[in-house]
Amino acid sequence: MIGVELLSPETLTLGWLIYVPVLIWAICRAPWVELFTDSRRQHQVLGTVFALFLLWLVRRDFDTGVSYHFIGMTAVTLLLDWPLAIIGGLVAQVGLVLLGRQDLTAMGVNGALFIVLPVLVTECCAIAVERAQPRNLFVYIFVSGFFAAALSALLCLLLALTVLWFDERFAMPYWLEDFIGYLWLIIFPEAFINGMVVSALVVFCPEWLETFNRTRYLSAPWKDDDPGP
């Protein structure tokens, strides 16, 4: 997360211009009828949002105005699908604002960087996997889980640094040239956490994953020359 003191008025406005239309689109595309009629789905969404809120509370706040925490949006997207994932991220953001752990004015920029971008990356990876139609579920776990989370963390960090550099209100560290070495310390844990969550859900509760094709991945293998009954 980025503090409001590190962002220019133009960047704050641009963040809202990106975030608000995506929120409106997500609200329009969300399955509200299913959500209001299915109590299991309600508990799933509320539990996921609460877990995301707790994950974002486990953070390291620096005096410079930036905060580091795990994103977790890859697992949320695979679990809820992109409209509810974006709405759930907004609810978790509001919780942080109410606790004073995030600036209300900076919600647009932080939402665009750490909610919309990871959801977009995860959704693109999930669509690519679905178009390839692999029968090995480890392809889904690795590409949609581990790889999508790692790529999301990388893009979020690079884009956030670009925003801070552009606004020129954040003192860039002198070891910026060696920053690529530190990226692994952030990318790998993010990929591991999301990948392990997705793996556990595939094994124990595959019906919870909205982007998981149970018919293809979990059906028994067969061959054309198998003898009939």
Q: Domain spans of the chain? A: 4-218
The class (CATH top level) of 4-218 is mainly alpha
On the 0-12 / 13-18 / 19+ scale of CB atoms within 10 A, 73 is buried
Q: Distance of alpha carbon 74 from its chain centroid, rounded?
A: 4
Per-residue confidence (pLDDT) for residue 212, from 0 to 100: 87
On the 0-12 / 13-18 / 19+ scale of CB atoms within 10 A, 188 is middle
Per-residue confidence (pLDDT) for residue 173, from 0 to 100: 67
Are 71 and 114 in contact, with CB atoms under 8 Å apart? yes
Q: What are 59-94's pLDDT values in tens digits? A: 888 887 888 889 999 999 999 999 999 999 999 999
Per-residue confidence (pLDDT) for residue 49, from 0 to 100: 95
Residues (pLDDT < 70) of the chain are 173-181, 220-229
Per-residue confidence (pLDDT) for residue 218, from 0 to 100: 77
CA distance 24 to 118: 18
Contacts of 158 (CB under 8 A, 6+ apart): none
Per-residue confidence (pLDDT) for residue 188, from 0 to 100: 92
3-state secondary structure of 205: coil
Per-residue confidence (pLDDT) for residue 177, from 0 to 100: 65
CA distance 38 to 166: 46
Per-residue confidence (pLDDT) for residue 117, from 0 to 100: 96
Per-residue confidence (pLDDT) for residue 217, from 0 to 100: 82
- Amino acid in the structure at residue 26: A
Per-residue confidence (pLDDT) for residue 175, from 0 to 100: 65
Per-residue confidence (pLDDT) for residue 8, from 0 to 100: 92
H helix or E strand, kind and range, residue 128: helix 117-132
Per-residue confidence (pLDDT) for residue 133, from 0 to 100: 84
Are 194 and 145 in contact, with CB atoms under 8 Å apart? yes
